[in-house]
Amino acid sequence: MAGAQWEKEMSDTKVYLLDGGSLVLDGYHVFWNRGPGGEVRFPVYSILIEHREGRFLIDTGYDYDHVMKVLPFEKPQQTKDQTIPGALKLLGLEPKDIGVVVNSHFHFDHCGGNKFFPHAKKICHRLEVAQAANCQPFEHLGYSDLTFSVEAAEARGQGEQIRHGQTRANTTFEGIDGDVELAKGVKLIFTPGHSIGHYSLLVEFGTRRPILFTIDAAYTQKSLETLCQASFHIDPVAGVASMRKVRKLAEDHDAELMYSHDMENFLTYNTGTKFYG
Ligand code: 5PN
Ligand code: ZN
Ligand code: ZN
């Protein structure tokens, strides 16, 4: 589409980052086989896109009680304002105002708040629910919060843990494949490796440079610069290819890169009522 019309259709897109608190990992997990070791506290956040075609939420952070129960060694810090309902409330929104929830993948720090959106349409890669339901032994901690899917929870004998009025029907996902344009200028970029069906996210605006959210294809800026992925992955060779794909896309689109778990950069990001667009 030609410039002026395209810019007009995109000029009202706004992106809000919902601060979801923080967790701790050892440096050798953040930077696989490279380190240095020692505690690294990193942010977790979700991405709200206000778009002409609807309100899209990408990821839903972690559930504090889940982390305290299953991974207390990740030392969660999450205030009330950093829960999903709390972060939405800062913007004058409630969970029911969200039309579409997209999960980049189903690690517990990206799907812990899904339970608040039984009414929303849900989208993920077509392989990701089945992987969470029947994961590799080394993926068990990553896929430990199954409250996003009654189907996945039942498959792992945790059906009774589903709360907030969820059913099979209202936790059913539309499965997608490859790169997909979710709405005009909002593109899901298939970046497998970290997980089997992992997605990064490219958002274009009428008013400013695009933003490319690496999500967990690159936890930090240093991760992408050194092609050093996290120690959690299903296919590390695919993970390196995905990092190269992200780099190329950012260059081709002159996109600003934003990382999922990079505290130093996160502290410079707009959060709360401050948005992009
Ligand atoms: C934050 C975090 N901690 C543990 C895991 C894991 O086992 O797979 C992914 C992951 C995480 O993102
Ligand atoms: Zn992950
Ligand atoms: Zn993550």
Indicate the top mutation candidate among 108, 214, 234 to test ligand 1's pocket, ranked by most ligand atoms within 8 A of CB: 108
Q: Give the mean pLDDT of 227-232.
A: 98
Confidence of residue 3 (pLDDT cuts 50, 70, 90): low
Q: pLDDT tens, 241-252?
A: 999 999 999 999
Q: pLDDT tens, 101-140?
A: 999 999 999 999 999 999 999 999 999 999 999 999 999 9
Residue 160 confidence (pLDDT): 80
Indicate the top mutation candidate among 45, 107, 194, 223 to test ligand 1's pocket, ranked by most ligand atoms within 8 A of CB: 107
Q: Give the mean pLDDT of 177-194.
A: 98
Q: Give the mean pLDDT of 51-77.
A: 98
Q: Which of 45, 76, 27, 13 is nearest to 208 (CA)?
A: 13
Q: pLDDT tens, 142-177?
A: 999 999 999 999 999 988 878 788 999 999 999 999
Q: What is the torsional sign of CA 15, 77, 94, 200?
A: positive
* Residue 56 · residue 102 · CB < 8 Å: yes
Q: Quick check: 17 pLDDT over 90?
A: yes
Active-site residues: which are they? 109
- Which ligand number lies closest to the CA of residue 219? 3
Residue 164 confidence (pLDDT): 83
CA distance 67 to 100: 25
Q: Give the mean pLDDT of 73-98.
A: 98
Residue 163 confidence (pLDDT): 76
Residues with CB under 5 A from ligand 3 (ion): 109, 216
Q: Quick check: 1 pLDDT over 70?
A: no
Reported pTM: 0.97
Mean residue pLDDT of the chain comes to 96
CA distance 145 to 153: 9
- As for ligand 1, residues whose beta carbon falls within 6 Å of it are 23, 25, 74, 107, 109, 141-142, 232
